[in-house]
Structure formats: structure tokens, C-alpha cells
Structure 1
Amino acid sequence: MTATATETAIETLTLPPDGPFPNNPALPVILHREAFTDPDPATIEATFAAHGWPPAWRWGVFDWHHFHASAHEALGCYKGSATLQLGGPNGPLVDVAAADTVVLPAGTAHRAVATRDGFRCVGAYPEGQEPDVQRGDGDAFEALEYRIHHVPLPAQDPVHGSAGSLTGHHPD
């Protein structure tokens, strides 16, 4: 279980609302580049679990825009690579590869635009949080926004175990 992300390997993206996708303008998406020296799924799962983000699944990312109004999400990439679109149809395209981890605050729309070489990742959510799946097609935008902004912050970063996992600040 070796997390090797460095301060220079961390990127952040703040995403404004995009139509029916609220995103989370208060919290950035965190990209941990090359977070693992061994991108084995069991290593990623053990690291996430040790930091309070129990792994929930191994698979890819849906190819349609969706978000979770009730949970933050970590995607630990362990095989292949993908181009993800974050934030909705007008959001940026982000390339990720095995060893990268993406931390998505509640409300952040995401989808896989393209996958290569059998792309797979571990999905995890902070202890006590259960993800719902929202497609941005409901009439309850304000209620979802309220839920998103009241999802508790996790105690630790899923990769480093440090405080500030969804603020972009990592005091390692």
C-alpha cells in the first residue's frame, strides 16, 4: 500500500453549474496524478479504506453525464486510460490513466468520453455516504443543490490520508 503522490502531482478544477448539472463550485475536483507506484486494485482499495473511503466497486465510468447528490466519490484508476468529461456537456475533458486518482465532490457531473486498453477504476465513497445517481433530468434542482452542499466533508484524503481532501489543500 504505497501512495506516492507529491504536491506537484496534484491538480484542481473548480467547475461552475452547467445547465441541469449543479457541480460543486465551493469544492474543486482533485486530480492526484501517478498517485500509486503499483496501480493494483487491491493496493488502491486498501489505501482508500485505510483513509476512511471504503471501496464500493471495480469497473469503468458511465458514458453518460451523471452526478451524486448524496456522496463524494474517489476514482482510483488501475488499468488503461480514459478521457473523462467533468462538469457536464460544457465541462473540460480530462485524461486519466492507471495510477491516477480523481476525487469528485458531491454534485460533480462526470462521464467517460473514451476509454483505452480496458480502462478500469476502483470507486469509493467516504464512510457513511451512499451514492445516488442523478442524470440532471429532474425538476428538483434546488433540492439537489441543498443536499449537495450539506454532504459532510470526509475526514481524510483517500490517497494521502491528510485533512483537506476536498478543499485542494494537502498539508503533507
Structure 2
Amino acid sequence: MPILENIKEYAERATGLRRPGKREASELTRPRKPHAVRFKDDGLVPNHPRWPLVLYRGAVRLDGRHDPAAVLEDLFEANGWSDSWRDGIYDYVHYHSRIHEVLGIARGKGRVRFGGAKGRIFKLKAGDVAILPAGTGHQCLSADKDFLVVGAYPTAGTYDECTTVEDRSRALKTIPKVPVPRKDPAFGAEGPLRKLWKKPR
């Protein structure tokens, strides 16, 4: 699926077809109350010491006019989250210690566990957006065949992938240093994210 989706994305970006553009993508959001969940360090996955996972249910209207993945890409880019990709979510526990991540569900449904082995399982479906602070464990447990996720990252930070106990000591030092993003990837500068992720005093 990633190869086909990469070809589609390339063609859409080259032609503009089935892409809403940044302005219209922002107009396809629906105000949603954030569902914020904090996870404790489980010994393998540190999670974030201060900031919660933020989940918006049905935050983006995905109609037949635009490619749903393109809607999410344009929305995230409009709010300063880039380096997007189209794929599923890995079926093993992993986290990022040097960068935050947003996951937007473009198609299908999936059961995803956040927070590591002692975390919580969420059923995610098209239109949902999850924002993971650095350190948040995530793993896909099961999904529809057409399950498609668009991921993206804020400009500050460096992508890494942590999966082992050996990653942990370094991760504990880097996770708290990843700065607060300038904008909420779904709702922009006025979105709830910056209130939920406050800078340490």
C-alpha cells in the first residue's frame, strides 16, 4: 500500500487534483473537545513526563471530493507539521524520543494501543486525529485492510525510532527537551494543544 499511496501523492501534488489546498483543508475541520490521556513510564516506554496524548474524534470531514490522505496532509502542512507519510502504524511497540508526531486516520478502522504494554487501546477511524508527545508508545494491534494513516511532524525535532531497553537512558534525557509545537496540527494557533502542552516554568 505505501508504494501505491506514494505514487498517488506524487501525482496529486504535481497536478493539484483531489487536493483541497491548505486553506480549504483548514475549513474541513470540526470543533472537537480534546480527549487527553497521560501514560506512566512502564519501564520500557518512558512516555512523556508532563504532556498527554491528545485525541480528537471525527475532527476532519472527509468527503468524496478530495483524497482523504491529501486533506490530512494539507491540513497538517497548513499548521506547520510536515515530512508527512502515508502508511499504517507499526505492529510493534515503538516511540520517538526527539520529536512529536501526529497521526490522522484517512481510511478504515484500527485498534491502536498507546502508552506501551500497560497503556490503553483506542479504536481509531477515518477523521480521527491523535497527537503524540515525544516518548509516547504506539502499536497497531489490528486494522481493516484499507486502514490508512497520515503521519507528520513539527519543524522542531529529529525523527528517531526507539524500541529497546538500550534506547531508554538516552530517551529519558531527550524527551523533555523537545519543544512545544507552534501550532496544533488540526486546529492551528488557537487549537487546544498549546494549552494542554504547557512549557515548563
Q: Does the 8 Å CA contact 1:88/1:110 hold for their aligned counterparts?
A: yes
Determine which of 29, 37, 48 is the counterpart of 1:4: 29
**CA distance in structure 1 between the aligned counterparts of 2:108 and 2:196, rounded to whole angstroms:** 26
Residue of structure 1 equivalent to 2:93: 65
Larger radius of gyration: 2
Determine which of 162, 179, 182 is the counterpart of 1:155: 182
TM-score under structure 2 normalisation?
0.78
**CA distance in structure 1 between the aligned counterparts of 2:126 and 2:194, rounded to whole angstroms:** 21
How do 1:100-139 and structure 2 match up within 5 A? 100-138=128-166
Bigger proportion of residues as strand: 1
Structure 1 pair 122/55, CA: closer, same or farther in 2 (3 Å)? Answer: farther
Q: Does 1:42 align with 2:67?
A: no
**CA distance in structure 2 between the aligned counterparts of 1:56 and 1:37, rounded to whole angstroms:** 19
Residue of structure 1 equivalent to 2:45: 21
Q: Which amino acid aligns with 2:102?
A: A
Give how far 1:55 is off: 4.0
TM-score under structure 1 normalisation?
0.90
Q: Tell me how large the CA RMSD over aligned residues is.
A: 1.7
Residue of structure 2 equivalent to 1:78: 106
Q: Does the 8 Å CA contact 2:156/2:179 hold for their aligned counterparts?
A: no
Identity level (%): 31
Q: Does the 8 Å CA contact 1:28/1:167 hold for their aligned counterparts?
A: no
* Number of aligned residues: 167
**CA distance in structure 1 between the aligned counterparts of 2:37 and 2:105, rounded to whole angstroms:** 18
Structure 1 pair 3/106, CA: closer, same or farther in 2 (3 Å)? Answer: farther
Mark the runs of 5 or more structure 2 residues left unpaired by the alignment. 1-24
Q: Per the alignment, in what secondary structure is the counterpart of residue 108 of structure 2?
A: strand
Bigger proportion of residues as helix: 2
Greater length-normalized contact order (CA 8 Å, ≥ 6 residues apart): 1
Residue of structure 2 equivalent to 1:141: 168
